[in-house]
Amino acid sequence: MLSSKTLEWVGHAIDALPEHLEITRLKGSNSSPVFSIQNPKTQIFVLRVLNNQKWLNEEPDLVRHEVAALDEAQKTGLLAPKVIAYSEDNVATDFPMVLSTFLNGNVELHPTDFQKWLEELATQLTKLHQHSAPNFPWQYQSWTDKDLLQPPDWSTDSKMWERAIELASQPAPEYFPVFIHRDYHPTNVLWSGNVISGIVDWINACQGPAGVDVAHCRNNLALMFDVKTADQFLEMYIQASPEFEYDVYWDIDSILNMCLPAPEFYKPWQEFGMDIIAPEILQHRTENYLGSLMQRI
């Protein structure tokens, strides 16, 4: 699972003998493996191993990025892990990695009070966006390759997709930059009862438009549940942050990124208890959601 070299490094960082460490791979670690590390004092830490070479080739500063993001979140009292140690190369460890504190809580996809769950999800995001992070060096960039966009072959309304692609190809609207998580969605949020106890996976955090985080979460909610849930989340966010200026552009950019060439069932949804959603249902939900966005224009 983890080599002796890596365990030596971890043991040194938390003052424990490698053979005394309990290692468990955590659920939901999709883009890179994440492990819980427990020492004999029953303290728990989290180790992210950056072994995705394609990702590292595209972003060789991933470790520094995550460390800076966690430090930035700590400055503002956000519910984020604290950095313990990190390695940027494979000299001390097999791969670049970040060791951080463990946050108590569980991912909750079947809340007993769904409206309360949704409201907390929206309100916590507004708290994150209250921080502008003026000196944070990583800046927002769209994940959508607009040169490769075309209506999907499964679409029942190709003209709607053509219009969406046309709109997304226009210059982005002006915005006031804030600190954004960039991958805020239900499986990156931890709960203790009906209260959020932590936010994880900060490796993509940057300074950018609040609408990007709102759109990314809305897109996830639309695929997981329905358009109504995505719209309720937006309404709750605006209620908690009335100065927010909604622009449908960010939603369209997000759906083109997440759902082309086809929307996919996100494996961590199943790991955290959600039934598999058939491809045709995901496609139907995607077109319903895009249709609702086009009506907003």
Q: Which domain holds residue 197?
A: 114-296
Residues 176, 40 within the same domain:
no
What would the pLDDT profile of 131-178 be if each residue is shown by its tens digit? 999 999 999 999 999 888 999 999 999 999 999 999 999 999 999 999
What is the predicted pLDDT for the residue at 285? 98
Task: Tell me what the pLDDT averaged over the chain comes to.
Answer: 95
Instruction: Give the model's pLDDT for residue 113.
Output: 96
107 found inside a domain: no
Report if residue 22 sits inside a domain: yes
Q: Is residue 108 part of a domain?
A: no
Residues 93 and 119 in one domain: no
CA distance 297 to 8: 57
pTM, 2 dp = 0.96
Are 283 and 242 within one domain?
Answer: yes
Domain count, the chain: 2
pLDDT at residue 8, as a whole number: 94
Mean pLDDT of the 248-272 span: 97
Same domain flag for 288 and 243 = yes
Tell me the per-residue pLDDT of 5-35, one tens digit each, with 9 for 90 and over: 999 999 999 999 999 999 999 998 778 899 9
Looking at the structure, tell me whether residues 122 and 199 fall in a common domain.
yes
pLDDT tens digits, 111-126:
999 999 999 999 999 9
pLDDT, tens digit (0-9, with 9 covering 90-100), for 273-284: 999 999 999 999
